[in-house]
Chain A
Amino acid sequence: MSSLLEVHDLTIRFPALSGYAVPVSAVSLRLERGETLALVGESGSGKTLTGLALLGLVPHPGRVDSTSRVLLDGVDVTRLTGDALRAIRGGRIGIVFQDALTSLTPVLTVGNQLREAITAHRRMSAQAARDAAVALLGEVGLPDPASTYGAYPHELSGGQRQRALIAIALAGEPDLLIADEATTALDVTVQAQVLETLDRLRATRGMAILLITHDLGLVAGRADRVAVMYAGQIVEEASTASLFAAPAHPYTRALFRAIPRLENPVDQLIPIQGNVPLPEEWHVGCRFQPRCGEALDRCATLDPPVVPLAPGASSRCWLPALRDQ
């Protein structure tokens, strides 16, 4: 049985002042039904673009390379257009964006937008759609679904809006839900509640979740597997447990050093020196090399290989390759 989602060599290209910028290069992912995969990276790593590419929503003038393949149950999404693509959007893959206020149309009520999303994928009468909408609002944990139904986005609180956005993403009963920094803009407590809701929904609906986030802390206990992204590339992939126990890639290790841990309090957090390079600045060799404390000579000039470390785990780095020799 093939995976629910298979991404092969996803490369996204943008025309730039001198040639092209390639914010996403050769990204490969795999997601099984009911699984949660976390895609972790800083802002500028290309993780949002990756998520958008799964829906064919890469913004103009960006283009997905013809060699890229995004297979949803064997069907290549990047080759779809028109009605077939629209059926996928919301119907097979749903997406929850970071800022609910700007992601909801301000001039329409929440209920209006939800009902519209429902009828886009399921045939039913207006009344039935309305009932389904209210039910869905209740399912995402909104205390007063009926009043939320008639409210405009700006009239709701941040947490309520985010839940409404989740409801809309679920309207077409998708098999895969992309949560793109879905809780970043919320208070910590609300964040936890919303994530819990997502988890519950995943269990009841048997959905897979692609959790796009910059926060490693969110990942623990919620994701089955983690893919770490840096400068448009996947640099490490592993199960959550093994990633947290023994991160293989220097970048992942640096990420862990930079976040506070309750069990091992340290006096100083060690931030990663330097800044995330812009797509125009990427060059040959390892992209993390300028900031890597363990870099070797060859890292600056030779592209590191993707080294398999265990079943389902790999690291894009020269270090494990050399260690084996």
Chain B
Amino acid sequence: MSRWLIRRTLQAAVTFAVAVLLLFVLVRVAPGDPLARIIGERAVSPQELAHLRERFGLNQPLTTQLRAFLGGVARGDLGVSIEHYPERVTSLLAARLPATVLLGGTVLLLNFSVGAWLGVRQAVRRGSRFDRWLTRIALAAYATPSFWLGLVLVAFVSVRWHLLPAAQMTDPLLGPEAGTLTRALDLLRHLILPALTLSVTSLALPLRHQRAAMLASFRLDFVTAARARGLTERRVRWRHAWRTTLVPMLTLLGLWLPILVSGSVFVESVFNWPGLGSLAADAIAARDYPVLLGTAMLVSATVVIAGLLADLGYALVDPRVRPA
């Protein structure tokens, strides 16, 4: 088991390394000068320009740049932000990571619990009005741009009806004397709208996956065999049929992260949620290349790790998959 784990981890590392390489190529291949915007924004003297070029290593030959880049990545040094010069990219990422983890984690939990439960219900009530209408609603929600939904929710729920806060993660007016419970509730109130926006617009995927997996599971012989033993329908449904759908659902979990991350760029930007997504959005506006690159790398690493964890999950969930 541990040998398989080591091999799989190595594979993941290679995939990540190739991804990093691709990102480097991407950045250098893209036409245009990363510093062009700064030159446009402020009056920069030739010396400053030369200094900046050197600082960002842009005047070196490509291979030297690559080596420096890879060396930096290996050391955990992702360079310096252009916009927030001289703040390090890694510290910026680290500061924003928790907020995204909170938002992303909440959405993941929501979608894979509510989505799974609804999907099972749809499969059991296949062809019913519930089944058909839920599919239609989920498809319509999937077709909804998250940034638009976010804006609409803010406009009505926050501004017009004053039900929930419109932006950010916490109430800036909350004084230091506020207790943990107040802080937690405040956080929750701020979390609801962005989490709802992200969750609703991506629910169709786990919903459909679970429904399909459940229908496939119901056709399997051992489900009939379980019924033949006199087990209650609930037991057959969850303990026998649903457990067999965990593997395809885990696969989805591994693939779902990129979607979640992309969505969070828009949602965090609309709600001013201080996470990686809004960091990326700001970096876009400021043409802050190192930050964008750093974020892309961090996100890729997360995707690769998620895939690795999904594989581990398979082994945990399905005894047939476990390497001897």
Which residues from chain A sit less than 8 Å from chain B, CB to CB? 52, 55, 57, 59, 86-91, 94-95, 97, 99, 102-108, 113, 116-117, 120-121, 152, 154-155, 168-169, 171-172
Contacts and interface: CB of A to CB of B under 8 A. Distances in A.
A102 B229 contact: no
A108 B226 CA distance: 12
Given A57-B224, A88-B230, A89-B229, 17 more contacts: A59-B224, A86-B231, A89-B227, A90-B231, A97-B221, A97-B225, A103-B222, A104-B222, A105-B239, A105-B240, A106-B318, A107-B244, A108-B239, A120-B232, A152-B319, A155-B319, A168-B229
A105 B244 contact: yes
A105 B230 contact: no
B229 A120 contact: yes
* Residue among A90, A91, A172 having the largest count of chain B Cβ atoms under 10 Å: A90
10 contacts: A87-B230, A90-B231, A105-B222, A106-B244, A107-B318, A108-B243, A117-B230, A152-B320, A154-B320, A169-B229
B228 interface: yes
B284 interface: no
Given A152-B319, A154-B319, A172 B229 contact: yes
A121 B319 CA distance: 28
Contacts of A90: 228-231
A91 B239 CA distance: 20
Given A86-B232, A117-B230, A154-B320, A104 B225 contact: yes
B125 to A, nearest CB: 13
Contacts of B235: 116
Nearest to B233: A86
A90 B244 CA distance: 23
A303 B106 CA distance: 68
A184 B230 CA distance: 25
* Residue among B222, B225, B229 having the largest count of chain A Cβ atoms under 10 Å: B229
Given A106-B319, A107-B318, A57 B227 contact: yes
A107 B243 contact: yes
Contact of B319 (A59, A94, A102, A107): A107
Contacts of A94: 228
Nearest to B227: A57
B317 A86 contact: no
Interface in B181-231: 220-222, 224-231
Interface in B294-324: 317-320
B218 to A, nearest CB: 9
Contacts of B227: 57, 89
Contacts of A86: 230-232
A275 to B, nearest CB: 25
A90 B224 CA distance: 12
A90 B225 CA distance: 10
A95 B224 CA distance: 11
Contacts of A154: 319-320
A13 to B, nearest CB: 19
Given A105-B243, A107-B318, A154-B319, A120 B230 contact: yes
Contacts of A172: 229-230
B319 to A, nearest CB: 4
Contacts of A107: 243-244, 246, 317-319
A98 to B, nearest CB: 9
A132 B319 CA distance: 25
Contacts of B225: 95, 97, 103-104
A90 B201 CA distance: 45
B131 to A, nearest CB: 15
A104 B226 CA distance: 8
A263 to B, nearest CB: 39
A116 B221 contact: no
A108 to B, nearest CB: 7
Contacts of A116: 229, 231, 235, 239
Given A107-B243, A107-B319, A154-B320, A117 B231 contact: yes
Contacts of A113: 226
A86 B224 CA distance: 13
A104 B225 CA distance: 7
A99 B239 CA distance: 21
A184 B37 CA distance: 77
Nearest to B221: A102
A106 B221 contact: no
Contacts of B220: 102
Nearest to B126: A60
Given A116-B235, A152-B319, A154-B319, A106 B230 contact: no
A57 B229 CA distance: 11
Contacts of A121: 230
A110 to B, nearest CB: 11
Contacts of B224: 52, 57, 59
- The 10 residue pairs across chains A and B that have the minimum distance between CB atoms: A90-B230, A89-B230, A103-B225, A102-B221, A90-B229, A152-B319, A117-B229, A86-B230, A105-B222, A105-B240
